[in-house]
Amino acid sequence: MKRLIIMVLTSCLPVLISCFSPTTNNIEDIADISVNTDISLSDTVIDRPAPEIIGIAPNYGYEDGGIEVTINGKNFENGLKVFFGDEESTIKLIGGSSTIVAINPQHSAGKVDVRVENPDGKSGILKDGFEYKKKEEPVKSCVYKKCDIKPTLFKYDSNKSGGSVSKVELAGQFTNWGDNRLVMNDDGVDGDEISQDGIFSKGVVLRSGEYEYKFILNSNEWINDPDNSDIEPVFKNSVITVRDGCTPEIISQSIKNGDIIKSSNIKIDIEFSMNGRAVDKTGTYFIVDGKRFDAQIQEEIGRMSIDTILEDGEHWYAVVLRDMDCNSVTEPSIMFIVKTGNKAPVANAGFTQITEIGKKVVLDGTLSEDPYSIGIDDYIWEVQSSPESVVLQDEYATDWAGYNNDPNAEPPKVRSLVSFTPTKDGYYRFSLKVSNQDGESEANETDVYVLKASTSNLKPEISLDIKVNSNHIVLDASSSRGANSDNLEFIWIEDIRNPVRFNLTSTSVQEIDVNKEGVYFIYLIVNDGFANSDTKKIFIYKQNERLVAQDFSLAPDWFKKSNIYEIFVRKFYDSNQDGVGDLIGLKNKLGYLKTLGIDTIWLMPVFMSNDKDHGYHTIDYYTIDNDYGDNSALLELIREAHKSGIKVVLDMVINHTSRRHPFFLEAINQNPYFRNFYIWFENNSPNLYDKYGYGREMGGSRLTLENGWAEIPDLNYSNPVVRKYIYDMLKFWIDPNSDGDFSDGVDGFRIDHVTGPSHSVWMNLRRYVKSINPDLVLIAEVFRDFDNNNQGYGIKDYYNGEFDAAFTFPYYWAINSIINGSSKPSTIEGLKSDIRKRFTHSSTHSFFIENHDIPYKSTALNEYGGYNDKGIARQISAASVMLLYPNTPQILYGEELGITDYRGFMPWDNFNDSNVLYKFYSGMLAMRKDIQISSDSKFYYVPNSVEDYIYSFVVVSGENRILGVVNMKDTYVDTVSLDIGVLRENLCGKLKFQSVFGNEIEEVGENYNSLFVGPLLAYETRFYRIEATNGLSPVKVRFVLDTQERSQDIQYGKYAFINGNIVQLGNWVPKAIKMIKTDNNQSYFETAICNGTQIEYKYIIDFAAVERWDGVEFGGDNRKVTIYGDTNNEMQISDRFGIRSR
């Protein structure tokens, strides 16, 4: 509503009470006003004492509305009249009689003269001074009213079964099948008396929808409902359709999944029913390709529609329908295609690959595109050049890992993926053409660099420093070292897909200018001359004047120091008291999370899902589940989270969909377009259950309704249409309004069940999402150990260019075995060793003590003994290492409050000042932030005198050091002696140990390497901040080893290594420190060690020292020395090599 006042005077005259400040109460039935601004004295009757009109404006102070007419005059007596055109209006006087309000003037629309007449018949006129336009009723939003939904009654009459039935349970999609089966009652409620009558019944509150279910007799016999003939076609389950009387219903839609529309003018019509309630027009709309469109609503006949213009290609829309009680429904989004031309598909033969002799190479054509997303019919691969004869073989649509335990589970072979295994090193080049009904593409090429097979597992260590300044990048690998030789060869390769070429040289340092926007990949190969090489992948992003260059194997810096909080939105916070947690509730609790110390939230799936519980059976990736809110609620949560400094990670289930996904429903109805969206086994089984892509879990065994996972057919990523559909969906959530500003989009994705698709799927996907936002994080769920196992792959296999990080399930297994008494605290050292052997120091891991899957049907606190002193102490003990180890820890919602209900509601009642767990978690997270622990921090074991019970360690981040002493057993320990020589490092002189959570202070003199702590109660934890109080400088120590006796080995390429009991000498870790060769049969190593430190060490000559070694394995005793600096604070330790090598 415009509020407009027109003045013909140059200033406010004394006769006016005010310069037009009419009241501001809003009304609903008021006219839109258009006032003639071309006012002149000639337009007005000026024969005095006629009134002079000097302004017109709306007035908001009257229930029926009004127009202010202000006149230049004073002390007008009663009898003034106001006319709009020829019609007189009822008036009231305000402003001391200089302003008149005409109450809701009624007349025909259009411009009219405004005339004010005094009792003498003298008038003032404003020509065309007013235009009346009837305003529509303001649109009201819904007011939440809880819907009284009556339970749906399920009944089973055991009297008809002919057998003995003592127990009947109900399982279905609403119970996640066997996970949460419901016990049915035999209490005679259907008869006249309360007695056991053999009729079992159960009432379940269900919203409108279609549900599958079964009965379970005597705990193990699964049967259909014998009184229900409505059967689902795949699993032959009973089906019930529920109408709750509250939820609006979408009856029909004019455009359906897979429709091909040969016009760019698109009209979408919807037929709906509101169950007798009025439509909330503010909450009823269309979403087309992520953008909201207000609907043309014909409420009286239950129809709504929109008209829009769309370009050729794949599109999607969804409908949101809401009534005035805030009941809403959103059907799964519809994917359709606009095709007005006949453009040929575009081939993409994939990115450059680097491999070595004997390793299979898979050429990937799934990045090819059909402009209309209808599909590609044929792939024509050709060898353009190679050092040997190559025959390309068709590949399986997905890796066969996990299928191999099932003889009927061979996935199909496809032409979009082909492979060969090179037997010669050199350069290989291939081309690809693709075709469909619209024609054949131009050829597109890719290349493969094949290196000689390594002679050992000792690769050069690439040290890569990347500097970016404006458009200039410096890539410096000059500090790289070889395990066998420092005479290194540097090979820089530019990806064939790069927008431009930089013409790189063969030196260790490259300087390039990036002037063209786009995404670039550069590969660095470092070879040591013994056919041993390692590779680095450099990612360059140039967009909107922003230039990023980074090691592509690393996670974003923000993620390395994050604290992740996993949230089951359904059970976190209920904002409208409907019994279901929602996104508005989560938004309202962001302050709690910020105070706790959380900076990253991971939301379990929030999209429409068939299970109505955990959300992992997705039926629409574009639409938020009705129980949680709508898309705008998620986007609002993201915006508010970002304002609070909290990142948002969405759980994406893109290995599979629900079998109730509209695409799969089309597939089992023999729609060929959608059948190719899924993987079908190559067998002749008539049972569809045997044909779609289950079987990746549990060693390849078939998944069943009993364990709840028979719901999920695998997507077929060998189909470029599927890949594009998923890519487009991810892009939408990264940048919802496609403006290149990611502040309104998510910060990353946790990808569920990554062991399904082939590795190339994830490599391509990570390249794609990073090309949109290089700061995005991808986290893998690899529910396995670090190494390959009988299911195919381990955690380490998903780090090399596929994901930024993975959840570290081995930590969960290790810490639980310690707390539960089946292993010793030293198990953590084994875990650290496993990590060091398999990952680079800069790799990011995510430790946890519980998540939504494990412990299965329980919580960490339950497993540790419950919500009592002992259970809480055990949980704190288990979480201590997780929260201080250099990783990105993951906390499950409620873990910090003592949740004991598996996937239950957040125990908000436990949030109080006396909650020991909350104090511990918030304090530890604050300490992590204070000393800036990240994946790049250092973590050392501190030997102690009670290693069967105590785990002690120090974490180093910059100049900050924290000592942790954790009793991991149900045993009282009187005193613990800690060997603090390992943590001194360069902290010389007196050391002060300040208790982090108490007032305890311990001091250790400069010549002492022991600290005594105690007593420690069972599962007690203590943490100390370490400081040097008198600032003594360390001694510069030079170890010199005479290698004359092993000169031939040294000349052959072996090196001398040193390892010892302190950090500077390797702390006996699996990989020893390589010494520097000289020309006089010597090798040396320099470091700094505190004066008075007692050290133990030994040497080895080999290509590398890659395993933990001690005096027994390598012969001879450790060499022992106490460090004493000379007058220059220096010390040289000279040795001759006398210990045998391996």
With 0-12 / 13-18 / 19 or more C-beta atoms within 10 angstroms meaning exposed / middle / buried, residue 470 is: exposed
Point out the least confidently predicted range of 324-338, 765-779, 780-794: 780-794
List, for residues 128-161, the tens digit of each pLDDT value. Answer: 777 655 545 555 788 888 888 899 999 999 988 7
Could you say which DSSP state residue 645 is in? Answer: T
Point out the least confidently predicted range of 502-511, 663-672, 710-719: 710-719
Q: What is the mean pLDDT of residues 96-104?
A: 59
Residue ending a domain, choose from 223, 242, 261: 242
Q: What is the C-alpha to C-alpha distance for residues 259 and 336, in angstroms, rounded to an integer?
A: 5
Tell me, yes or no, whether 1093 lies in a domain. Answer: yes
Pairing of strands 303-309, 296-298: antiparallel
CB atoms within 10 A of CB 1124: 11
Tell me, yes or no, whether 286 lies in a domain. Answer: yes
List, for residues 1061-1093, the tens digit of each pLDDT value. Answer: 888 888 877 667 888 888 788 889 999 998 888
Point out the least confidently predicted range of 18-22, 431-435, 686-690, 909-913: 18-22
Tell me, yes or no, whether 206 lies in a domain. Answer: yes
Which residues are catalytic, by number? 752, 781
Please say if the pLDDT value at position 926 is more than 90: yes
Same domain, 1056 and 1127: yes
Please say if the pLDDT value at position 495 is more than 90: yes
Please say if the pLDDT value at position 401 is more than 60: no
Q: What is the C-alpha to C-alpha distance for residues 66 and 64, in angstroms, rounded to an integer?
A: 7
Looking up residue 262, the CATH number of its domain turns out to be: 2.60.40.1220
Tell me, yes or no, whether 159 lies in a domain. Answer: yes
Measured CA distances, 826 to 738, 832, 1058 (Å): 51, 10, 24
Residue ending a domain, choose from 1028, 1044, 1060: 1028
Point out the least confidently predicted range of 225-239, 383-397, 680-694, 1016-1030: 680-694
Q: What is the mean pLDDT of residues 392-417?
A: 74
Same domain, 167 and 213: yes
Point out the least confidently predicted range of 112-121, 699-708, 834-843: 699-708
Write out the two tokens for 1085: 């190593």
Looking up residue 71, the CATH number of its domain turns out to be: 2.60.40.10
Looking up residue 1023, the CATH number of its domain turns out to be: 2.60.40.1180
Same domain, 232 and 253: no
List, for residues 336-364, the tens digit of each pLDDT value. Answer: 999 999 999 999 999 999 999 999 999 99
Q: What is the C-alpha to C-alpha distance for residues 904 and 218, in angstroms, rounded to an integer?
A: 27
Same domain, 56 and 129: yes
Same domain, 1006 and 1062: no
| Per-residue pLDDT band at 57 (split at 50, 70, 90) | low
List, for residues 577-599, the tens digit of each pLDDT value. Answer: 888 999 999 999 999 999 999 99
Same domain, 156 and 217: yes
Same domain, 238 and 260: no
Same domain, 220 and 266: no
Tell me, yes or no, whether 942 lies in a domain. Answer: yes
Same domain, 1132 and 1041: yes
Q: Which residue has the higher pLDDT, 558 or 19?
A: 558
Tell me, yes or no, whether 1107 lies in a domain. Answer: yes
Q: Which residue has the higher pLDDT, 985 or 751?
A: 751
Domain count of the chain?
A: 8
pLDDT of res. 54:
65
Please say if the pLDDT value at position 997 is more than 80: yes
Tell me, yes or no, whether 638 lies in a domain. Answer: no
Point out the least confidently predicted range of 290-304, 339-353, 436-450, 665-679: 665-679
Q: Please say whether the beta carbons of 351 and 409 come within 8 A.
A: no
* Percent of the chain's residues with pLDDT above 70: 83
Write out the two tokens for 359: 């390793």
Tell me, yes or no, whether 1123 lies in a domain. Answer: yes
Same domain, 990 and 1043: no
Point out the least confidently predicted range of 195-209, 639-653, 950-964: 195-209
Please say if the pLDDT value at position 1016 is more than 80: yes
Q: What is the mean pLDDT of residues 67-94?
A: 68
Q: Which residue has the higher pLDDT, 471 or 685?
A: 471
Q: Give SS3 for 666.
A: helix
Q: What is the mean pLDDT of residues 1119-1130?
A: 90
| Per-residue pLDDT band at 58 (split at 50, 70, 90) | low
pLDDT of res. 47:
45
Same domain, 281 and 321: yes
Alpha helix locations (H) across 820-892?
A: 827-838, 860-864, 869-884
* Percent of the chain's residues with pLDDT above 90: 57
pLDDT of res. 8:
31
pLDDT of res. 697:
35
Q: H or E element: which one contains 675?
A: helix 672-675
Summary mean pLDDT of the chain:
84
Q: Which domain holds residue 989?
A: 938-1028
Point out the least confidently predicted range of 691-705, 874-888, 899-913, 995-1009: 691-705
Same domain, 222 and 202: yes
List phi, psi (to 5°) of 77.
-85, 170
Q: What is the C-alpha to C-alpha distance for residues 393 and 728, in angstroms, rounded to an integer?
A: 30
Residue ending a domain, choose from 534, 552, 570: 552
